Structure 1
Amino acid sequence: MKVVSTKEAPAAIGPYSQGMVVNNVFYSSGQIPLTAEGELVEGDVVVQTHQVFKNLQAVLKEAGASLDSVVKTTVFIKDMNDFGKVNEVYGEYFHTHKPARSCVEVARLPKDVLIEIEVIALVK
Protein backbone atom coordinates (compact mmCIF):
# COMPACT_ATOMS: atom_id res chain seq x y z
CA MET A 1 0.00 0.00 0.00
CA LYS A 2 1.08 3.54 -0.73
CA VAL A 3 -0.28 6.62 1.01
CA VAL A 4 -1.00 9.51 -1.37
CA SER A 5 -0.29 12.99 -0.07
CA THR A 6 0.10 16.27 -1.93
CA LYS A 7 0.24 19.91 -0.88
CA GLU A 8 -1.70 20.74 -4.08
CA ALA A 9 -4.92 19.59 -2.39
CA PRO A 10 -6.27 20.24 1.11
CA ALA A 11 -4.82 18.15 3.90
CA ALA A 12 -7.06 15.60 5.54
CA ILE A 13 -9.19 17.16 8.28
CA GLY A 14 -9.22 13.97 10.34
CA PRO A 15 -7.35 10.71 10.89
CA TYR A 16 -7.24 9.63 7.24
CA SER A 17 -5.17 10.19 4.10
CA GLN A 18 -5.98 11.98 0.84
CA GLY A 19 -5.89 8.58 -0.81
CA MET A 20 -4.32 5.15 -1.06
CA VAL A 21 -2.86 3.12 -3.91
CA VAL A 22 -3.28 -0.64 -3.61
CA ASN A 23 -2.38 -3.03 -6.46
CA ASN A 24 -2.26 -0.19 -9.02
CA VAL A 25 -5.69 1.11 -8.01
CA PHE A 26 -6.11 4.55 -6.42
CA TYR A 27 -8.85 5.12 -3.85
CA SER A 28 -9.40 8.76 -2.96
CA SER A 29 -10.88 10.15 0.18
CA GLY A 30 -13.84 12.37 -0.45
CA GLN A 31 -12.81 15.79 -1.67
CA ILE A 32 -14.73 18.85 -0.57
CA PRO A 33 -14.41 22.44 -1.81
CA LEU A 34 -11.43 23.52 0.25
CA THR A 35 -8.40 25.18 -1.30
CA ALA A 36 -5.00 23.55 -0.97
CA GLU A 37 -4.48 25.91 1.98
CA GLY A 38 -7.60 24.54 3.68
CA GLU A 39 -9.83 27.55 3.08
CA LEU A 40 -13.49 26.89 2.29
CA VAL A 41 -14.50 28.05 -1.19
CA GLU A 42 -17.56 30.23 -0.90
CA GLY A 43 -20.18 30.15 -3.62
CA ASP A 44 -22.89 28.01 -5.09
CA VAL A 45 -22.68 24.34 -5.97
CA VAL A 46 -21.15 25.15 -9.38
CA VAL A 47 -18.20 27.01 -7.84
CA GLN A 48 -17.79 24.35 -5.17
CA THR A 49 -17.88 21.49 -7.70
CA HIS A 50 -15.09 23.08 -9.77
CA GLN A 51 -12.92 23.29 -6.63
CA VAL A 52 -13.63 19.64 -5.81
CA PHE A 53 -12.45 18.65 -9.30
CA LYS A 54 -9.30 20.76 -8.88
CA ASN A 55 -8.57 18.81 -5.68
CA LEU A 56 -9.33 15.47 -7.32
CA GLN A 57 -6.98 16.27 -10.20
CA ALA A 58 -4.20 17.07 -7.70
CA VAL A 59 -4.52 13.84 -5.71
CA LEU A 60 -4.93 11.78 -8.89
CA LYS A 61 -1.74 13.30 -10.31
CA GLU A 62 0.17 12.55 -7.11
CA ALA A 63 -1.07 8.95 -7.29
CA GLY A 64 0.09 8.57 -10.90
CA ALA A 65 -3.45 8.63 -12.27
CA SER A 66 -5.75 11.16 -13.94
CA LEU A 67 -9.41 11.82 -14.58
CA ASP A 68 -9.03 9.67 -17.71
CA SER A 69 -8.15 6.65 -15.55
CA VAL A 70 -11.09 7.03 -13.15
CA VAL A 71 -13.33 3.95 -13.18
CA LYS A 72 -15.87 4.95 -10.49
CA THR A 73 -17.02 8.09 -8.75
CA THR A 74 -19.32 8.66 -5.82
CA VAL A 75 -20.95 12.09 -5.59
CA PHE A 76 -22.52 13.28 -2.36
CA ILE A 77 -24.72 16.36 -2.67
CA LYS A 78 -26.57 18.27 0.00
CA ASP A 79 -29.60 19.01 -2.21
CA MET A 80 -30.75 16.76 -5.06
CA ASN A 81 -32.27 19.88 -6.64
CA ASP A 82 -28.65 20.78 -7.51
CA PHE A 83 -28.22 17.54 -9.51
CA GLY A 84 -28.54 19.32 -12.88
CA LYS A 85 -25.93 21.95 -12.01
CA VAL A 86 -23.54 19.34 -10.62
CA ASN A 87 -24.06 17.17 -13.69
CA GLU A 88 -23.21 20.09 -15.97
CA VAL A 89 -19.90 20.75 -14.21
CA TYR A 90 -19.19 17.02 -13.93
CA GLY A 91 -19.64 16.74 -17.71
CA GLU A 92 -16.94 19.37 -18.26
CA TYR A 93 -14.42 17.04 -16.62
CA PHE A 94 -15.83 13.73 -17.86
CA HIS A 95 -16.98 14.67 -21.36
CA THR A 96 -15.59 11.76 -23.40
CA HIS A 97 -14.52 9.35 -20.66
CA LYS A 98 -17.55 8.48 -18.54
CA PRO A 99 -16.74 6.40 -15.43
CA ALA A 100 -19.41 4.55 -13.46
CA ARG A 101 -21.04 6.83 -10.89
CA SER A 102 -23.30 6.90 -7.88
CA CYS A 103 -24.90 10.14 -6.69
CA VAL A 104 -26.69 10.46 -3.39
CA GLU A 105 -28.25 13.26 -1.41
CA VAL A 106 -26.99 13.47 2.15
CA ALA A 107 -28.26 15.36 5.18
CA ARG A 108 -24.96 17.07 5.89
CA LEU A 109 -21.36 17.18 4.69
CA PRO A 110 -18.15 18.22 6.47
CA LYS A 111 -17.94 21.98 7.02
CA ASP A 112 -21.51 22.24 5.67
CA VAL A 113 -20.31 22.19 2.05
CA LEU A 114 -22.70 21.46 -0.79
CA ILE A 115 -20.76 18.64 -2.47
CA GLU A 116 -18.17 15.92 -1.90
CA ILE A 117 -16.75 13.53 -4.51
CA GLU A 118 -14.55 10.44 -4.19
CA VAL A 119 -12.99 8.44 -7.00
CA ILE A 120 -11.43 5.08 -7.77
CA ALA A 121 -8.85 5.13 -10.58
CA LEU A 122 -6.29 2.92 -12.25
CA VAL A 123 -2.68 3.98 -11.73
CA LYS A 124 -0.53 4.12 -14.85
Structure 2
Amino acid sequence: MPNREALQPAGLAIPKSPYSSVIVSGDLVFTAGQAPFDSDGNLVSDDFAEQTHQTLRNLRSCLEAAGCRVSDVLKVTAYIVDPADFATFNEIYQQYFTEPYPARATLVTNLLGFKVEIEAIARKP
Protein backbone atom coordinates (compact mmCIF):
# COMPACT_ATOMS: atom_id res chain seq x y z
CA MET A 1 0.00 0.00 0.00
CA PRO A 2 1.41 3.41 -0.92
CA ASN A 3 2.48 5.69 1.89
CA ARG A 4 0.19 8.69 2.27
CA GLU A 5 0.03 11.68 4.55
CA ALA A 6 -3.04 13.83 5.19
CA LEU A 7 -2.51 17.57 5.63
CA GLN A 8 -4.78 20.30 6.96
CA PRO A 9 -3.56 23.71 5.70
CA ALA A 10 -3.48 26.57 8.17
CA GLY A 11 -6.27 29.05 7.55
CA LEU A 12 -8.51 26.52 5.80
CA ALA A 13 -11.75 25.39 7.43
CA ILE A 14 -11.58 21.82 8.72
CA PRO A 15 -13.84 19.61 6.58
CA LYS A 16 -17.11 18.60 8.19
CA SER A 17 -17.40 15.56 5.93
CA PRO A 18 -15.08 12.51 6.00
CA TYR A 19 -12.27 13.59 3.67
CA SER A 20 -8.79 15.12 3.85
CA SER A 21 -8.03 18.54 2.40
CA VAL A 22 -4.70 17.34 1.01
CA ILE A 23 -3.11 13.91 0.54
CA VAL A 24 0.60 13.54 -0.21
CA SER A 25 1.84 10.21 -1.55
CA GLY A 26 5.50 10.21 -2.50
CA ASP A 27 6.00 13.24 -4.70
CA LEU A 28 2.34 13.46 -5.73
CA VAL A 29 -0.11 15.89 -4.09
CA PHE A 30 -3.88 15.51 -4.36
CA THR A 31 -6.23 18.23 -3.15
CA ALA A 32 -9.84 17.76 -2.24
CA GLY A 33 -12.29 19.92 -4.13
CA GLN A 34 -11.86 23.43 -2.77
CA ALA A 35 -14.87 25.70 -2.43
CA PRO A 36 -15.38 29.42 -1.74
CA PHE A 37 -15.32 29.26 2.04
CA ASP A 38 -13.32 31.41 4.42
CA SER A 39 -11.29 30.03 7.34
CA ASP A 40 -14.44 29.83 9.48
CA GLY A 41 -16.27 27.76 6.84
CA ASN A 42 -18.52 30.62 5.71
CA LEU A 43 -19.36 31.27 2.06
CA VAL A 44 -17.41 34.40 1.07
CA SER A 45 -19.98 35.89 -1.28
CA ASP A 46 -22.77 35.06 -3.70
CA ASP A 47 -20.72 36.66 -6.52
CA PHE A 48 -19.16 34.11 -8.91
CA ALA A 49 -15.91 36.06 -9.38
CA GLU A 50 -15.35 36.45 -5.64
CA GLN A 51 -16.16 32.77 -5.12
CA THR A 52 -13.65 31.78 -7.80
CA HIS A 53 -10.87 33.91 -6.29
CA GLN A 54 -11.49 32.43 -2.82
CA THR A 55 -11.59 28.90 -4.20
CA LEU A 56 -8.26 29.40 -5.98
CA ARG A 57 -6.72 30.95 -2.85
CA ASN A 58 -7.87 27.90 -0.89
CA LEU A 59 -6.38 25.63 -3.54
CA ARG A 60 -3.10 27.54 -3.36
CA SER A 61 -3.08 27.10 0.45
CA CYS A 62 -3.50 23.35 0.01
CA LEU A 63 -0.61 23.21 -2.43
CA GLU A 64 1.64 25.33 -0.22
CA ALA A 65 0.93 23.09 2.78
CA ALA A 66 2.40 20.24 0.73
CA GLY A 67 5.45 22.24 -0.37
CA CYS A 68 4.12 23.00 -3.85
CA ARG A 69 3.35 26.06 -5.91
CA VAL A 70 0.56 26.53 -8.40
CA SER A 71 3.19 26.02 -11.13
CA ASP A 72 3.65 22.43 -9.87
CA VAL A 73 0.05 21.49 -10.74
CA LEU A 74 -0.31 18.83 -13.43
CA LYS A 75 -4.11 18.48 -13.60
CA VAL A 76 -7.08 20.59 -12.54
CA THR A 77 -10.71 19.57 -12.37
CA ALA A 78 -13.13 22.47 -12.04
CA TYR A 79 -16.87 22.42 -11.46
CA ILE A 80 -19.11 25.41 -12.16
CA VAL A 81 -22.86 25.75 -11.86
CA ASP A 82 -23.64 28.18 -14.69
CA PRO A 83 -22.04 27.80 -18.13
CA ALA A 84 -22.51 31.56 -18.58
CA ASP A 85 -19.71 32.00 -15.98
CA PHE A 86 -17.15 30.06 -18.05
CA ALA A 87 -15.49 33.14 -19.60
CA THR A 88 -15.19 34.81 -16.17
CA PHE A 89 -13.77 31.58 -14.78
CA ASN A 90 -11.09 31.50 -17.49
CA GLU A 91 -10.13 35.14 -16.90
CA ILE A 92 -9.64 34.56 -13.18
CA TYR A 93 -7.97 31.16 -13.69
CA GLN A 94 -5.27 32.84 -15.80
CA GLN A 95 -4.43 35.11 -12.86
CA TYR A 96 -3.36 32.01 -10.87
CA PHE A 97 -2.07 29.62 -13.57
CA THR A 98 0.37 30.49 -16.34
CA GLU A 99 1.63 28.72 -19.44
CA PRO A 100 2.22 25.91 -19.80
CA TYR A 101 -1.20 25.45 -18.21
CA PRO A 102 -2.02 22.24 -16.39
CA ALA A 103 -4.31 19.74 -18.08
CA ARG A 104 -7.86 20.65 -17.13
CA ALA A 105 -11.44 19.44 -17.21
CA THR A 106 -14.26 21.88 -16.49
CA LEU A 107 -17.69 20.47 -15.80
CA VAL A 108 -21.05 22.17 -15.42
CA THR A 109 -22.92 20.62 -12.51
CA ASN A 110 -25.03 21.35 -9.44
CA LEU A 111 -23.04 22.16 -6.31
CA LEU A 112 -24.14 22.35 -2.67
CA GLY A 113 -24.88 26.05 -2.19
CA PHE A 114 -21.93 27.56 -4.05
CA LYS A 115 -20.98 28.24 -7.67
CA VAL A 116 -17.47 26.81 -8.15
CA GLU A 117 -15.27 23.99 -6.86
CA ILE A 118 -11.71 23.16 -7.93
CA GLU A 119 -9.39 20.23 -7.23
CA ALA A 120 -5.84 19.58 -8.40
CA ILE A 121 -3.07 17.03 -8.70
CA ALA A 122 0.50 18.30 -8.40
CA ARG A 123 4.02 16.90 -8.28
CA LYS A 124 6.33 18.14 -5.54
CA PRO A 125 9.39 19.95 -6.90
TM-score, normalisation: structure 1: 0.93
Identity between Structure 1 and Structure 2 (%):
34
Which ranges of structure 1 fall in alignment gaps of 5 or more residues?
A: none
Q: CA deviation at 1:49?
A: 0.4
Asked if structure 1 preserves the Cα contact closer than 8 Å seen for 2:75 and 2:104, the reply is yes
C-alpha contact (below 8 Å) 1:36/1:55 kept by paired residues? no
List per-residue Cα deviations over 1:17-56 (Å, max 9, x = no partner): 1010112100000000001121111132111000001101
Where does the alignment leave 5 or more consecutive residues of structure 2 unmatched?
A: none
Aligned length: 122
Matches within 5 A, 1:19-58: 19-58=22-61
Name 1:109's counterpart in structure 2: 111
Of residues 79, 84, 87, the one that matches 1:84 is 87
Query: What SS class does the counterpart of residue 102 from structure 1 fall into?
Result: strand
1:120 has 2:124 as partner: no
Segments of 4+ moved more than 4 angstroms: none
Q: Is the 8 A contact 2:73 2:120 kept in 1?
A: yes
Q: Whole-Å Cα distance in 2 between the matches of residues 13 and 115 of structure 1?
A: 18
Whether 1:15 aligns to 2:18 is yes
Among candidates 62, 66, 87, match of residue 63 of structure 1: 66
Report the CA distance between 1:120 and its aligned residue. Answer: 0.3
